[in-house]
Amino acid sequence: MDDDSRRLETTLEVITLMHGGGPVAGEGDHPQRPTRKPDPISPIRGTEVKGHLRFWWRATHGCTKASVAEMREAEDELWGNASKPNDPKVSKVDVTIKQRSATKSVEVATLPGPNGRPEGIGQGLRYGAFATANLSEVPGTATLTLRVAPNARLDEVQDALHAWLLFGGIGGRTRRGFGAVFARGVPDASEFLGRFNTANTIAMVPTLHGATLVLGDSAHATAARAHRAAVDAVRYFRQERGFARNQGVERERPGRSRWPEPDALRRLFNRSARGHEPAHTVRAFPRAAFGMPIVFQFKDRDDPGGTLTPNAKGGRMASPVIVRPCPVGSQWKAMALRLRVPGLEERLTSVYVGDSQQRGLLRDPEHTQIYPLKGYGPDVLSAFLEFFKSFPRP
């Protein structure tokens, strides 16, 4: 890159535990209890950072192009594309990182709950980490330098960098706040988000234009505590006893879900365990809005299992909701960001269990029959944001 290129430099920290982060996804993992390993030399890798910056460039500027083809052409022109043998593009943004290489492995089973004792199974960060055996702590700071070519839009690169520092992270499960990054001197999150208000953006491209950001009521002394609160809000809304499911008889045997998906599956396959005959009247899969695939697995063999996907061939749909810590003065709050995804409602009209087409959207007034949505409305993601503001509930 030319010597007269421009520089963007920042000192960043990884403020929450990192999920994975190695150069090869799932390398050496046990299928039931994976051990997620960061890169042993560079836990914050330049290639990974550039990948995240490309995403946030699309969410801030690329999404305003006239078409996906035009967006991809502009993206390749700025960020490079070596995968086109006939027309390779050299990146106009060079990423370098100076960092400490040591990381500390943290066993998920030892993560502390609010009382300081080990977190219960399926609670707090253990819910967010899912089946993972360990996470990683990345100590210290890292210096990130972006060198931007003179013929590239510096403001667009800076916006992508700020968006990543405010809403993103490194490693896996960053949309659940793992590996969240933070740097001093970046704009306030709400102020930054207010700059992106273009109405017409590309269908199904997640964007900050028209996105919604909310903060939880409670203030926390550390980013780690705010992260736990953010992830636990997701768990509570989707699975908490007495709210998202019945109480059940003991901790190991929680009650039936108050969401309609389990009974919709039972009706679809015309199978149910004794005492679990379908009772929910809504035949839809509204939690598809949080992202797919969703694997439904029951303890009783007579109940059917299934995987909810965005199309008959499977595939993935990333969650449009990001939760993580947000600095507020000298304290931290749980933050939830709902990316706007134009055309998402149309996509959710058809979701799939195998090759069976199902409905992901609710019809008014079906939400009144779903306990977690009562008082909120039929839009599941809007309901979650309203719920998030006052979590933990009084």
Contact 223, 15 (CB under 8 A): yes
**What value does the mean pLDDT of the chain take?**
91
Q: What is the pLDDT of residue 120?
A: 84
Give φ, ψ of 323 to 5 degrees: -120, 145
- Rounded Cα distance between 187 and 213, Å, is 14
Residue 3: band (very low, low, confident or very high) from pLDDT cuts 50, 70, 90: low
Least confident piece of the model among 29-38, 55-64, 181-190, 357-366? 29-38
What are the b/e assignments for 191-200, b being 16+ CB within 10 Å?
ebbeebeeee
Predicted confidence (pLDDT) per residue in 277-336, tens digit = 999 999 999 999 999 999 998 888 888 989 999 999 999 999 999 999 999 999 999 999
Instruction: Indicate the SS3 state at residue 269.
Output: helix
Give pLDDT tens digits for 73-111: 999 999 998 777 676 789 999 999 998 777 888 998 889
pLDDT at 289: 97
Domain ranges for the chain: 1-186, 196-394
In this model, does residue 50 exceed pLDDT 70?
yes
316 Cβ contact list (under 8 Å, min separation 6): 291, 292, 293, 309, 310
pTM of the full structure: 0.92
Which residue has better confidence, 43 or 147? 147
Q: How far apart are the first and last CA of the chain?
A: 56
Q: Report which secondary-structure segment, H or E, holds 182.
A: strand 181-183
For 27-42, b where at least 16 C-beta lie within 10 A, e where not — what string? eebeeeebebbbbeeb
pLDDT for residue 36 is more than 70: no
What average pLDDT score do residues 356-385 get? 94
CA distance 289 to 380: 7
Residues 125, 111: contact at Cβ < 8 Å?
A: yes
User: What pLDDT shows up at residue 211?
Assistant: 98
Q: What is the mean pLDDT of residues 233-238?
A: 96
Look at residue 122 and tell me whether its pLDDT is greater than 70.
Answer: yes
Which DSSP helix (H) or strand (E) runs through 47?
helix 46-60
Over residues 236-283, the pLDDT tens digits come to 999 999 999 998 776 566 789 999 999 999 999 999 988 889 999 999
List the beta strands (DSSP E) in 283-341.
Answer: 294-296, 306-309, 321-328, 331-340
Q: Report CA 338 to chain centroid distance, whole Å.
A: 10
Ranking 13-22, 51-60, 77-86 by mean pLDDT, the lowest is 77-86
Instruction: State how far the Cα of 223 lies from the Cα of 234, in Å rounded to an integer.
Output: 17
Please tell me the distance from the alpha carbon of residue 66 to that of residue 57, in angstroms, as a whole number. Answer: 15
Closest to 142 measured CA to CA, from 9, 12, 21, 7:
12
Measured CA to CA in angstroms, residue 291 lies from 34, 322, 355, 383, 391 at distances of: 22, 11, 18, 16, 22
Identify the pLDDT of residue 28: 52
- Which amino acid, residue 202? I
State the pLDDT at residue 319.
Answer: 97
User: Looking at residue 82, what is its pLDDT?
Assistant: 74
26 pLDDT more than 70: no
What local confidence, expressed as pLDDT, does residue 25 receive?
Answer: 59
The pLDDT value given to residue 298: 84
- Is the backbone peptide bond immediately before 150 cis, with ω within 30 degrees of 0? no
Query: What is the helix (H) or strand (E) element at residue 146, kind and residue range?
Result: strand 142-148
Q: Where are the alpha helices (DSSP H) in 137-208?
A: 154-167, 189-193
Q: Which of 21-25, 230-234, 336-340, 361-365 has the lowest mean pLDDT?
A: 21-25
